């Protein structure tokens, strides 16, 4: 999944969720460190695995980053707690949410590390084409869901991401044979299937490739989602829009010093290229 061309959508709104009204005071926002949400994809155990990138990281490097969080007193949040934080729930000074996109089978290598530190994590599953090698199968997903520290939510049915064939292209009429109904099916069917398989509600969605627009947000709301996770750069604060939650992908080539900077500002770093792109 090539995400390097994904644009940064900078808009953020001070609204509330689930009927909560009111805007947080300037002093409340100023006192908050902000919530970074860090995103991983494939975990590499052997040298011949996928190279360091925004979609792959070695198990050793991942372990080092989790150890950094533990040693620096970070508290991990579930997806529900992320939404509660946006509503104004009190929290530790140092908070972070750890998330994994696409349901790669290799993401299971992260589980013993997360367990060692009692960390919570959220896994975004492609409920149709993302089942079975090289992704996890339903048995593995269902087993993971038994751990109360792990969330599992929707990453659509097929994760459309190729140029000219994203859901943003579909809804814009740029892909022959695809339109708003196909987008609606991706959203509705993945939510239904995950709920059926896991026996629990699926109120959250992460956009494939980070592509979305206002019409897609409306379709997601109609499908029953109450919070939407992007890959827009930046931190999250109380009062931010739960339909535009910011997340930051972690490049596998970054060291702990760069990782610490990402936790402070939520800005993606391409450590292989040595650059900080404006979007991804």
Share of the chain above pLDDT 90, in %: 81
The per-residue pLDDT for 275 is: 54
| 48 confidence band (pLDDT: 50, 70, 90) | confident
Q: Does 151 map to a domain?
A: yes
Q: Does 226 map to a domain?
A: yes
Q: Calculate mean pLDDT across residues 39-52.
A: 91
Task: Provide the 3-class DSSP secondary structure of residue 232.
Answer: coil
Q: Does 176 map to a domain?
A: yes
In DSSP terms, which residues pair with 206 in a beta bridge?
229
Q: Calculate mean pLDDT across residues 47-62.
A: 92
Q: What is the pLDDT of residues 193-231, one digit of tens each?
A: 999 999 999 999 999 999 999 999 999 999 999 999 999
Is 103 a residue whose pLDDT tops 80?
A: yes
Task: Provide the 3-class DSSP secondary structure of residue 271.
Answer: coil
Q: Does 197 map to a domain?
A: yes
Q: What is the pLDDT of residues 154-165, one digit of tens each?
A: 999 999 999 999
Q: Does 14 map to a domain?
A: no
The per-residue pLDDT for 54 is: 92
Q: Please report where in the chains the tokens 């970074």 appear, as a residue.
A: 36
Cβ atoms of residues 119 and 76 within 8 Å? yes
- Kindly state the tokens that stand for 273: 């290229």
Contacts of 197 (CB under 8 A, 6+ apart): 127, 138, 141, 142
Q: Does 18 map to a domain?
A: no
| 274 confidence band (pLDDT: 50, 70, 90) | low
Is 66 a residue whose pLDDT tops 90?
A: yes
* Domain count within the chain: 1
Determine what percent of the chain falls in helix, strand and coil, rounding each to the nearest 5. 35, 15, 50
The per-residue pLDDT for 36 is: 98
| 11 confidence band (pLDDT: 50, 70, 90) | very low
User: For the chain, what's the residue count?
Assistant: 280
How many distinct helices (H) and strands (E) make up the chain? 9, 10
Backbone φ, ψ for residue 209 (5° rounding): 65, 0
CA distance to 103, 169, 253, per residue, from 216 (Å): 23, 11, 33
Q: Does 11 map to a domain?
A: no
The answer to whether the Cα torsion of 7, 11, 12, 18 is positive or negative is negative
Q: Does 277 map to a domain?
A: no
Return the minimum-mean-pLDDT range out of 52-56, 137-141, 198-202, 204-208: 52-56
* This prediction's pTM: 0.87
Rounded to an integer, what distance in angstroms lies between the CA atom of residue 219 and that of residue 183?
8
Domain that holds residue 250: 26-265
The per-residue pLDDT for 84 is: 96
More confident site: 27 or 225: 225
CATH classification of the domain holding 149: 3.20.20.370
Strand boundaries in the chain, DSSP class E:
37-40, 42-44, 56-58, 75-76, 95-101, 121-125, 150-154, 204-206, 227-229, 248-249
Query: Other CB atoms closer than 10 Å to residue 139's CB: what's the count?
Result: 8
- Kindly state the tokens that stand for 246: 């910011």
- Kindly state the tokens that stand for 280: 């991804």
Query: Other CB atoms closer than 10 Å to residue 137's CB: what's the count?
Result: 13
């Amino acid at each position: 999944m090539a995400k390097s061309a994904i644009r940064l959508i900078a808009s953020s709104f001070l609204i509330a969720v689930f009927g909560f009204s009111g805007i947080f005071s300037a002093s409340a926002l100023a006192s908050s460190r902000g919530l970074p949400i860090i995103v991983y994809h494939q975990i590499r155990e052997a040298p011949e695995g996928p190279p360091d990138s925004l979609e792959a990281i070695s198990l050793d490097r991942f372990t080092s980053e989790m150890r950094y969080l533990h040693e620096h007193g970070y508290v991990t949040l579930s997806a529900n707690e992320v939404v509660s934080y946006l509503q104004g729930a009190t929290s530790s000074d140092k908070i972070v949410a750890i998330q994994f996109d696409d349901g790669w089978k290799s993401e299971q290598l992260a589980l013993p590390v997360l367990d060692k530190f009692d960390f919570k994590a959220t896994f975004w599953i492609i409920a149709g084409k993302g089942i079975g090698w090289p992704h996890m199968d339903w048995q593995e997903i269902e087993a993971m869901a038994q751990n109360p520290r792990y969330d599992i939510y929707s990453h659509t049915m097929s994760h459309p991401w190729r140029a000219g064939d994203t859901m943003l292209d579909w809804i814009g009429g740029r892909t022959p044979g695809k339109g708003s109904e196909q987008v609606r099916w991706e959203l509705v069917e993945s939510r239904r299937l995950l709920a059926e398989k896991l026996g629990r509600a699926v109120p959250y969605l992460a956009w494939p490739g980070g592509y979305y627009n206002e019409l897609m947000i409306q379709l997601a709301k109609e499908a029953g989602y109450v919070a939407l996770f992007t890959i827009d750069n930046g931190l999250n604060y109380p009062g931010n829009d739960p339909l535009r939650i910011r997340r930051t992908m972690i490049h596998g080539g970054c060291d702990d010093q760069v990782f610490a900077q990402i936790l402070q500002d939520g800005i993606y770093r391409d450590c292989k290229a040595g650059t900080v792109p404006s979007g991804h």
